[in-house]
Chain A
């Protein structure tokens, strides 16, 4: 029974990873770049929510309503200023730029907020700790269900936007061929900026749920970037639903690893990622078109 419980907890953890992964996947799909500052932007969002809620005393969920528009604007500005320029510099420049940005963000957060480990868990009350007990060793945490539901909603919403709306068609067209899209009146720069805005805001959402679910500090970003990337690759870079599946596989691998011995938790996730990369399927990962 305790093994089943490990799998169930992994499923909910996977929801969190899928939420982290979908911003990364979106930017890769539309712009073909991997944003190495993704994890640090998520942590920035978490610090934003922490700051607003501790200054005003409101619930983190209300604080999120303030922080999300700010992060949308930040993502938009980031693309318009830094990333747009780096995209013109060739394939490697965005990588180097976002890595530099990650270092700057991480250390700026360290300087402003000190290296203390924080959590938003206590400020949401029983939501963070409560659960439905189904059996002796099997329980369903409230927060896990909420995170999974949010992840499914966000992924489903993005999928809907991509498939059914005019903006989604513009994104898909730009992803396939920015020059031809520009010929028919779809400016790539504007599409890129809006996609980055969405990706950064979703990252902040994921960062906030991480902060409620466990703890965070100024140097949490890189780990979250790595988990997000693993979820994307395990999911096969195929579709947003693949990303959800990848997140769930990663989450279950980690909780099963932790069930054997707590120090195997993260290692188990890395090993599943490397095994999938080394498997015959891994050969096609780099070639696969993204969801867009």
Chain B
């Protein structure tokens, strides 16, 4: 790009929503999603199970980013919905519902729970919201531990999938997880590309200023909180389908929030692509270091702090700032129409 000393003559401007890079990017992401559906036909059942857990992390990262990156809601209590989705699935299968149908129903029930809880927790802002959601998760975990039919504190297994051969079961779980991941990514993409996207980013940058400009803050926050409740509920239910056993201490554990914060901070908060990158990185880190126990978690915590302090927009911002690549066209770009005097001179808003 050349810089001219003389001010450019005012030419007609047009709003551009996509570029060649973003068209290639979104096209190849779509192709990748389609290709991923074929994985169980080609790769071993063990890899399929690993990929399922990667996709679950992806869903979690994208949902947490939707809350914190766009609505400014830092939640430390999304494990409420993870646990609710998982235990909802258990409860439904105990009443004779087919497990995979139960996963879908439990995710929808998590969205309903989120809608109900939003009346209480969305009264809080900032740190109060963070701890408030955490209290909800702790309370729900205690309720579950009181219920002996749900296994109490010792945990419970998912029944009803024993009719499937292990490879078939893993493939089904994988396909369902992939379907949820694609659905949620597309839903978020459409939300951000629609005018709500600009409103959400305004809320993220300054809630009061956005409200004074006429952005309806509460309905938008409500919408994202319910969406995140749905997504995290699905992630919990799918975790259960993937591992077949859950314990209240771990499925309601705050370590889920630590993972989500790590993925989103490292990948890039408030960007569409960042959490995807973060989920892949976290999955790799976990694969190699999870057996280090406390040291692994110390490393995760230190990395998250370092990113929050020194690179708050995450790794994706490095890429984005250097080469101005946006893989998915969610933004608005002002572009001057080519005229004889200036030629094309793209500017980002």
Q: A residues engaging B (CB < 8 A)?
A: 28, 32-34, 36, 82, 85-86, 89-97, 99-104, 106-108, 110-111, 222, 225-226, 229-230, 233, 263, 266-267, 270-271, 273-274, 277-278, 282-283, 285-286
B126 touches A267 (CB 8 A): no
In the complex, chain A residues whose CB is within 8 Å of the CB of B130: 34, 36, 95, 99
A270 touches B312 (CB 8 A): no
A222 touches B254 (CB 8 A): yes
B123 touches A111 (CB 8 A): no
Q: B residues engaging A (CB < 8 A)?
A: 68, 72, 74, 76, 119-121, 123-128, 130-132, 134-136, 138-139, 142-143, 145-146, 254, 257-258, 261, 265, 294-295, 297-298, 300-302, 304-305, 308-309, 312
Q: Which single member of B74, B134, B143 contacts A96 (CB below 8 Å)?
A: B74
Which residue on chain A has the smallest CB distance to residue B73? A92
Minimal beta-carbon separation of A218 from chain B (angstroms):
9
In the complex, chain B residues whose CB is within 8 Å of the CB of A108: 294, 298
Given contacts A82-B309, A108-B294, A226-B135, whether A95 and B127 have CB atoms under 8 Å apart is yes
Given contacts A107-B301, A277-B120, A282-B123, whether A34 and B309 have CB atoms under 8 Å apart is no
Minimal beta-carbon separation of A175 from chain B (angstroms):
15
Instruction: Name 10 extra pairs, CB < 8 A, besides A100-B261, A229-B132.
Output: A89-B312, A99-B130, A106-B297, A107-B295, A226-B138, A229-B131, A266-B138, A270-B135, A282-B120, A285-B128
Q: How far, in whole Å, are A267 and B135 apart by their CA atoms in the complex? A: 10
Q: Which single member of B135, B257, B261 contacts A229 (CB below 8 Å)?
A: B135
Given contacts A226-B134, A277-B132, whether A96 and B120 have CB atoms under 8 Å apart is no
Q: How far, in whole Å, are A96 and B119 apart by their CA atoms in the complex? A: 24
In the complex, chain B residues whose CB is within 8 Å of the CB of A96: 74, 261, 265, 304-305, 308
A82 touches B305 (CB 8 A): yes
Q: Which single member of A28, A100, A226, A282 contacts B127 (CB below 8 Å)?
A: A28
B127 touches A33 (CB 8 A): yes
B298 touches A104 (CB 8 A): yes
In the complex, chain B residues whose CB is within 8 Å of the CB of A222: 134, 254
Q: How far, in whole Å, are A95 and B72 apart by their CA atoms in the complex? A: 11
15 example contacts (A-B, Cβ-Cβ < 8 A) are as follows A34-B126, A90-B312, A95-B126, A101-B301, A102-B301, A107-B298, A110-B294, A226-B131, A226-B134, A229-B132, A266-B138, A270-B142, A271-B139, A274-B120, A285-B123
Q: How far, in whole Å, are A104 and B294 apart by their CA atoms in the complex? A: 9
In the complex, chain B residues whose CB is within 8 Å of the CB of A270: 135, 138-139, 142
In the complex, chain B residues whose CB is within 8 Å of the CB of A277: 120-121, 123-124, 132
Q: How far, in whole Å, are A273 and B136 apart by their CA atoms in the complex? A: 10
Which residue on chain A has the smallest CB distance to residue B312? A89
Minimal beta-carbon separation of B78 from chain A (angstroms):
13
In the complex, chain B residues whose CB is within 8 Å of the CB of A263: 142, 145-146
In the complex, chain B residues whose CB is within 8 Å of the CB of A233: 128, 132
List of 7 A-B pairs having minimum Cβ-Cβ separation, nearest first: A34-B127, A103-B301, A104-B301, A100-B305, A270-B139, A100-B304, A107-B294
B302 touches A104 (CB 8 A): yes
In the complex, chain A residues whose CB is within 8 Å of the CB of B302: 100, 104
In the complex, chain B residues whose CB is within 8 Å of the CB of A225: 131
B304 touches A91 (CB 8 A): no
A85 touches B128 (CB 8 A): no
B261 touches A230 (CB 8 A): no
B308 touches A286 (CB 8 A): no
A100 touches B301 (CB 8 A): yes
A89 touches B309 (CB 8 A): yes
In the complex, chain A residues whose CB is within 8 Å of the CB of B298: 103-104, 107-108, 111
